[in-house]
Amino acid sequence: MLKRREPLSITLRLALLFAAIAAAAFVGVGAYLYQTLSRQMVQRDDMDLLNKAVMLRHVLAEQGSLAALRAQPDMALNTVYGQDIRLRIAAMDGSPLAQNSSALPPPELPGVPAAREPAMGDIRNWHSGTGMARVLNVQATLNRREPPVHITLLRERSDRLAIIRRYAIDLLGALLAGAALVAALGFLIVRTGMRPLYAVIGKANDISAHRLNSRLAVDEVPAELRELGVAFNAMLDRLEEGVQRLSGFAADLAHDMRTPVNTLMVETQVALSRPRTVEEYQALMASNLEEYERLAQMIENTLFLARADNAQLGLQREPLELRAELERIGEYFEGLADDSGVALALELPEGGSLQADAILFQRAANNLVSNAIRHTPRGGRVSLGAHFADGELLVKVRNTGEGIAPEHLSHIFDRYYRADPARPASSSSAGLGLSIVRAIMALHGGRVDAASGPGETCFTLHFPHNG
């Protein structure tokens, strides 16, 4: 089995990236310099050929005749002596009059006329036996009585090309050395610049489940890492809050479960202390059944929220007759309201329907109504109503009473939160009732909010409505 290759470090990646950028820049500059040098050398050689052609015309004009040229050819040949220029002077019939090399192309007549100055365009390329060469053919006049002569000037580019090749090799070596230098310096610079990140990593390593109160010093990190530090601190805030709530929930749940478990244990121990009648055992079982139901409700609520958080609840949406649903809820709580001395009023809409899961809708509304009845003093009033507004169905549960303190209002939907620190023993929800309502609304794409003032509290379910 092949071993998985570990990814490169950020420092090495940046160093290699710097090297690649430097190499690309060096290649571009080197190619430009190479082409510029090559072009300038060709132009300089061509200009030298033109100057030599003009000079030869003057020299030949001073000799005055073909006989003098044949007698003293060195005067013309000395014009290009010591240079890498090959020269041939030939009569118009092609017979050579003077030359310093036989490796010349055959004369191409007529060449540049004697009456015209040669130009750059008159120079042509020619492939010699040893490489590329530049050739210029011109005519020159010795005197008016004799025909003109043909001059061939040739300069090979092998020496120039060798210089260019050496320059290219030196340029390539400088490119590689420069890229390596940039990579090394880039590595050192990036490694130095990454020190603040290593400090952040060290700070993060110091954080554990028992030290969640530690935070990164955002003002001390570079600007590029500041947003990361802010996000990291925000994550720690959420984790610390979640751990604190989970700890509080564990304490609350343990407290709430301990009461029914202790009750079951004590009643069972008392019952087993001596023989009992059938009626006494039946009463014991009925009492134990209440405690079992209470425990089952706690467990069921906790599992419901866990499934909702992990999107494991599938909604069974169906059209619900709103008026009928509210009437059913009102009938269900009518007896509980009478026993609590609370007036339950329904504010029913004329009609309308809602696409929702019937069981979850009833559960959300039931939680709010039961919560309102439980917190309404005797002689108070609870109302349940609904209406459509701004594309939403608003289901409202109002109750009279002392209301909810402002410091608790923003937290009442948080899981495991209890506004009453006394934790009444009769509570079986462990502070999960309103959290369940919020989870149900989130599953339906809606929301729930609460408003409380002197003498009245109102909970509102916002269902999206497209009808």
**pLDDT at 414 > cutoff 90:** no
Structure confidence at residue 425 as a pLDDT band (50, 70, 90): very low
Beta bridge partners of 394: 387, 462
- pLDDT for res 32: 87
Q: What single-letter DSSP state applies at residue 107?
A: P
**pLDDT at 203 > cutoff 80:** no
**pLDDT at 397 > cutoff 90:** yes
Average the pLDDT over each of 93-97, 158-162, 358-362, 424-428 and give the range with the smallest value: 424-428
- pLDDT for res 424: 46
Encode burial over 57-86: b for 16+ CB neighbours within 10 A, e otherwise. beebeebeebeebeeebeebbebbeeeebb
When the pLDDT of each residue in the chain is averaged and rounded to a whole number, the result is 80
The pLDDT > 70 percentage for the chain reads: 84
- pLDDT for res 161: 67
Q: How confident is the model over 279-293, as a mean pLDDT?
A: 83
Q: Which of 51-55, 188-192, 218-222, 430-434 reaches the highest mean pLDDT?
A: 51-55
Structure confidence at residue 462 as a pLDDT band (50, 70, 90): very high
Q: What single-letter DSSP state applies at residue 112?
A: B
- Three-class DSSP category at 73: coil
- pLDDT for res 400: 92
Question: How crowded is residue 281: how many other Cβ atoms within 10 Å of its Cβ?
Answer: 12
3-state secondary structure 296-354: HHHHHHHHHHHHHHCCCCCCCEEEEEHHHHHHHHHHHHHHHHHHHCCEEEEECCCCCEE
Q: How confident is the model over 257-265, as a mean pLDDT?
A: 78
Structure confidence at residue 420 as a pLDDT band (50, 70, 90): low
- pLDDT for res 467: 55
- pLDDT for res 380: 92
Average the pLDDT over each of 40-44, 137-141, 143-147 and give the range with the smallest value: 143-147
Q: Helix, strand, coil proportions of the chain in percent (round to 5)? A: 55, 20, 30
Taking the model in full, what pTM does it have? 0.47
Q: How confident is the model over 352-376, as a mean pLDDT?
A: 89
CA angle 317, 322, 325 (to 5 degrees): 85
Q: How confident is the model over 144-168, as a mean pLDDT?
A: 78
Looking at the structure, give the CATH architecture of the domain made up of residues 218-309: Orthogonal Bundle (1.10)
Listed by start position, the domains of the chain span 10-164, 218-309, 317-464
Q: Which of 191-205, 251-265, 277-291 reaches the highest mean pLDDT?
A: 277-291
**pLDDT at 207 > cutoff 80:** no
**Contact criterion met (CB below 8 Å) for 348 and 329:** no
State the fold for domain 10-164: Beta-Lactamase (3.30.450)
- Three-class DSSP category at 245: helix
Question: May I ask the CATH class of domain 317-464?
Answer: alpha beta
Average the pLDDT over each of 84-88, 97-101, 253-257 and give the range with the smallest value: 253-257
Q: Do domains 218-309 and 317-464 have the same CATH topology?
A: no
Higher pLDDT, 212 or 284: 284
Question: How crowded is residue 447: how many other Cβ atoms within 10 Å of its Cβ?
Answer: 15
Higher pLDDT, 119 or 247: 119
Structure confidence at residue 440 as a pLDDT band (50, 70, 90): confident
Higher pLDDT, 357 or 157: 357
